[in-house]
Amino acid sequence: MLPPIRYPLPTMLALLFASVLAWKGAEWSSEWRAEMARRLKLAVEGPPVPSSPRPKVVVGPITRRALLLLDETPASARPNGPTSETIDRRMFVDVYDTWPSPGTATHVRVGNRKPIGWVPISDLLEWDTRLVLKAPDGRLTLADSPDGPGKVVEVGRVALPVVAWDGRAAEVAVWDPARPWSKVARLGWVRLADIPPDAWGVWISQVELPILLGLANQGDNPLLARLRAVLGRLADNRPWTAADLDASRPALPGFVFASEPDPRKAAGRLAEANARPSNEAGWSGLTFQFLPLTDLP
C-alpha cells in the first residue's frame, strides 16, 4: 500500500503548473523567442540591406542612373564590406538601391542589366539623364539653393552635368578644373532665366550620334528621338511610345521639349556634328561631346 502524499495544496498547484510549462512552454514561447532573436540580430547587424532585382525608376522610362568617376572602382556585396568585385572602366550605371534608406545615402548599389555591387557615393555622380550645361563665358552665377543668393563662379568651358531642377532653377555639378569628369568640386543652382537656350545640351558619344541622326531622318516622332538622347537611351532598342513621352514631361525641364519645328534643319545640324566630331572626353573606349539641345530634332 502506497503512503499518502502529504504536500500542501499550493505546492501541488505549483508542481502542476511547472509540469504543464515544461510540456507546452517551448510551443507557447516560440513567437516570443523568434521576436527576441530578430531584435538581437537587428541590434548586431543593423537593418536588412536592400537587394532590388531591378533599377529604381524616377517615372515612366526614366531610371535612376549614375556615372562612375574613375576606373578600377571597388564594389562590395554589402555597404562598407570588403571588395567583392572591381568595375574596371568608368561607365554609366543603373542605380538599384541606396544605403541607408531612408536617410542620406553613403553607398549606392549599381549595375548594368544586373546588379554588380555597392560603391561609396563619393565614387560616382548621381545623374539620371545626359543633360548638360556649358557656360557661354566660362562663368556661372551659382547659389546653394534654388532661391538662394548667387555668386559668380569660374566653371570653365567644360560641359557640366545637370543633376536636378525645379520650375526656376537647375542644379549642376561643377568639375575640379584639374580633373574634369573625374572629380566634382561642388554643386550649385543656376537660374533658368539667366541661361541662353544654346547653353543647354546633351552629353553624347560618337557611337550614339549616328543613331540620333538616323532617328531624325526618319521623322516619325522627333520628340521621342530627343527624349532618348536626353535620357542616354539611344542604343536602347525597346519600343518607345507616346506614353513614354507623356510620362517624362512632368519629370524634365520644360526647355527639353522645345524642339526644332523643321526636322530637316535638325537633321542637317546633326549631320554636320557627326561629320566634324568635337570629342571632349572619353572613357570605356568611347568619346563624348557636348551637343546643344537646339541641334536636336
pLDDT tens-place string over residues 201-226: 999 999 999 999 998 888 778 899 99
Does residue 122 lie within any of the structural domains?
A: yes
Does residue 4 lie within any of the structural domains?
A: no
Tally the domains of the chain.
3
Average pLDDT, integer, range 104-122:
95
Please check whether residues 290 and 207 belong to one and the same domain. Answer: yes
Residue 82 is part of which domain span? 57-126
Please check whether residues 76 and 115 belong to one and the same domain. Answer: yes
Does residue 186 lie within any of the structural domains?
A: yes
Please check whether residues 175 and 212 belong to one and the same domain. Answer: no
pLDDT band at residue 43 under the 50/70/90 scheme: very low
Statement: residue 227 has pLDDT above 70: yes
CATH code of the domain covering residue 107: 2.30.30
Structural domain ending residue among the three candidates 126, 150, 180: 126
State the cell numbers at 32.
Answer: 516570443
Structural domain ending residue among the three candidates 77, 107, 126: 126
Q: Kindly report the number of other CB atoms within 10 A of residue 134's CB atom.
A: 19
**Can you tell me the distance from the alpha carbon of 265 to that of 138, in angstroms, rounded to the nearest whole number?**
28
Structural domain ending residue among the three candidates 126, 148, 164: 126
Does residue 2 lie within any of the structural domains?
A: no
pLDDT at 115: 96
Please check whether residues 114 and 135 belong to one and the same domain. Answer: no
pTM, full prediction: 0.83
Please check whether residues 224 and 283 belong to one and the same domain. Answer: yes
Please check whether residues 109 and 152 belong to one and the same domain. Answer: no
CA angle 95, 101, 104 (to 5 degrees): 90
Does residue 30 lie within any of the structural domains?
A: no
